[in-house]
A and B are shown apart, each in its own frame.
Chain A
């Protein structure tokens, strides 16, 4: 069966510090992968998606970047965090039309 992992579960970082969130998927190959952000009390906003190794599409201009160094690994990064980067970050993979989400990372930027 397929499993999706995210870490860390929670993170508190100062403004201006770097960020690296990792997502890995098990039990499937060449999945479409996604990063979403959920601000408090809001729906999810698509940040990046990837259809293969090294292939990244960005949906909104922002302070973040994504990379896919391996087939089942998706990384969300920032060189310098902003207060507005706080939120709940969710990784997902897609099977046909349905998306499967990881447990999320709660990021607080102070």
Chain B
């Protein structure tokens, strides 16, 4: 079953603007991760936020986590053309499975 569900599915903004993507999940998690995928490439880990954290920063990235609402957001500030990519939230699905469960992703386009 799908753990994360990103919103919006696609987002197009001007370079320099901030981009916000949201993720909702279904079951309890220990941590939530965000990954980026450039077109036709593998995924790159961006940031991990633990269930006891509410906010975390890494460079131009800010991630929030609201466990009561089972939601997370990824904010990219001062966007650049190189930020154009698909962004996925992911969490370990628990039970016997050891792999990550991903949402469908948000495709972000930064217009120069």
Interface size range on A against B: 20 to 34
Docked Cα-Cα span, A59 to B93, in Å, equals 11
Task: Tell yes or no: B18 within 8 A of A by CB.
Answer: no
Shortest Cβ gap from A87 to chain B (Å): 12
The A contact surface, by secondary structure, is strand
Task: Tell yes or no: B48 within 8 A of A by CB.
Answer: yes
A-B contact count (CB 8 A): 63
**A44 partner, pick from B92, B98, B102, beta carbons under 8 A:** B102
**A59 partner, pick from B31, B90, B99, B105, beta carbons under 8 A:** B99
Q: Which residues of B contact A101 (CB under 8 A)?
A: 35, 42-44
Chain A: which residue is nearest B44 at the CB level?
Answer: A101
| B contact residues vs A (CB 8 Å cutoff) | 2, 4, 31, 33, 35, 40-45, 48, 88, 90, 92-93, 96-105
